[in-house]
Amino acid sequence: MNVVRDMRSLGPRYRALWTGQALAQFGAYIAFFSIPELIAFITDKTNTLDYAVTYALENLPIILTGLVGGVLLDRLHLRPVIITTHLVRASVFFYLSAVANRDTLEVPTIMALAFVIGTMSTMFEGALYAVLPNVVKKSQLPRANSLITATIQVNFALAPLFAGILTSVIARRGLGLSLTLFLTGLLFVAAAISMHRVGRVAHHRSPGEGRSGFFTEAANGIRYVWAEPRLRLITIAAAVANLVVGFVEGTWKVLYTVVIGTASAAESGILLSMLGVGGVIGAFIAPAFTSRLGLGRSLVVGMWITGLGMFAFMFTRYGILAIVLQILWMCGVSIVNVPIATVRQVYSSPSMLGRVITASRAIGWATIPLGAVLGGALGSSPTTYPWVARMAPILMMATAVWLATTVIWKDTFGPRDDEPEPAAGDQPHGEASLDETEPETPDLEPSSPDVEPDAEEAPVGEIEEGS
């Protein structure tokens, strides 16, 4: 994967979109560090419940917004939605920066603002993947998605480190937090400006298309995901993968000390950082997988890499081999993520893109806290935990074996340039009434229009490159 070549071929509109999301994701991962630090600063104590509730409130919108937020994404223009999410988050961090050193700031206020941040983040991520098919060609979606995935992994590795250094090098800790929070707000403002430079984006829903009730449309998004076989299968695959990864993320401290045998916080930190390294490598090589194997087979192979790498990792002790296996299984996670995101975009009706993406993500991500709680309960003692940890990857490998017998393996070969472009507002074959009260079940071969950006929609001050 040649990043410079891919960036040039994807065009100036994508570069503006990519820059904005990179800035926003960097800000989001700084917040991953700074919000718990702010709680610790104002309470001057370590209260696990405060951290857990705040983290839950920040992630709860993934489920709640996924069920209803997709309707808004299908009704509203996506560029203003993305810009609004950036500006609202910027306002929150500017406020926290201003009051971080005041005695009036309390934990419940931070929790409420964490919920606002999580809601805006969820809306942003759904809108980001929904707007991509209107910015790049369908055949370019795997590359476009892989660059975004790589950026997320790089930010995951670097942003908390940056925030920690910035906070610690300033003598007064409160001042360091205020500066970190203020810079986070500036990042979201810059992200909003970059998104504005993307230019006008055509609405993915036909203006003449009728609307049903709000909750009817939300339910139809879930029904669409379940009725279209590829969408249903990749949602199940995401749910299984996140169940296992949720267990690892939720209990990593126990995993590293009890199973892998890390002797210090530094060794645990190295293993955590290797997650980012593996994620970046996987994102960069994922387009090669999808171009040679197709979307579905890349998904299955990625799950095998994740499952086998994680399974072997659970039987090692800290050292070079453990580091390599940690990189390997996280590399598989990124290989899985790229075809999952692309299948959602390719096999969704244009008029339901927002609902399909958010509903599929909500179902897939709902298993993360479940995996953490279930795995923690089953492995609640040092005796049982290693067995639970070593059995968890088997679930992922078993799912990969099952997926190899389905339509995902047989004919999900990804987008092609030679597909005819349907008329605006077309839906998958057999799905014309999905926004009515009694939607039909889609056929196995839904169509998805190849929406190419118009030259007049180039970013402000830039000329649209030839395709």
Is residue 16 domain-shared with residue 114, that is, in the same domain?
Answer: yes
Q: Is residue 451 assigned to a domain?
A: no
Using the 3D structure, point to which of 139, 170, 201 is the last residue of a domain.
Answer: 201
CA distance 418 to 414: 12
Q: Collapsing DSSP states into helix, strand and coil, what is residue 198? A: coil
Residues 189 and 218 in one domain: no
Does any domain span residue 435?
no
Quick one: pLDDT at residue 283?
Answer: 85
Per-residue pLDDT at 329: 95
Question: Is residue 180 assigned to a domain?
Answer: yes
pLDDT of res. 437: 34
Does 157 map to a domain? yes
Does residue 194 sit in the same domain as residue 281?
no
Residues 263 and 330 in one domain: yes
Q: Are residues 259 and 174 in the same domain?
A: no
Q: What is the DSSP track for 341-369?
A: HHHHHHSS-GGGHHHHHHHHHHHHHTHHH
For the chain, 467 residues long, the average pLDDT of each consecutive 10-residue run is 82 94 92 76 58 58 72 84 95 92 81 87 88 87 88 82 73 68 95 92 62 76 90 93 82 82 80 83 87 90 96 95 95 91 86 85 81 70 83 94 91 50 36 35 38 36 34
In sequence order, the 6+-apart residues with CB closer than 8 A to the CB of 172 are none
Residue 49, Cβ density class (10 Å: 0-12 exposed, 13-18 middle, ≥19 buried) = exposed
Say if 466 falls within a structural domain.
Answer: no
State whether 190 and 230 are in the same domain: no
Is 269 inside a domain boundary? yes
d(CA 419, CA 416): 6
Total domain count, the chain: 2
Contacts of 133 (CB under 8 A, 6+ apart): 141, 204, 345, 350, 353, 448, 451
Domain containing 226: what range? 214-413
Helical axes 229-250 vs 353-365, angle rounded to 10°: 40
Here the CATH number for the domain that contains residue 179 is 1.20.1250.20
Same domain as 190, residue 284: no
**With helix as H, strand as E and coil as C, how does 260-283 read?**
HCCCCHHHHHHHHHHHHHHHHHHH
Judge if 249 and 350 occupy the same domain.
Answer: yes
pTM > 0.75: no
What the block records as the tokens of 149 is 């995935």
CA atoms within 13 A on the CB side of 437: 0
Same domain, 368 and 242: yes
Q: Is residue 232 part of a domain?
A: yes
Structure tokens at 426: 């077309």
Coil, strand, or helix at residue 331?
A: helix
Structural contact between residues 97 and 185, judged by C-beta atoms closer than 8 angstroms = yes
Same domain for 385 and 250, yes or no, is: yes
Check whether residue 249 and residue 196 sit in a common domain: no
pLDDT at 436: 34
DSSP letter assigned to residue 172: S
Asked if the structure places residue 52 within a domain, the reply is yes
> Given 3-state DSSP classes, what are the helix, strand and coil percentages for the chain, each rounded to the nearest 5?
75, 0, 25
* Shared-domain flag, residues 189 and 162: yes
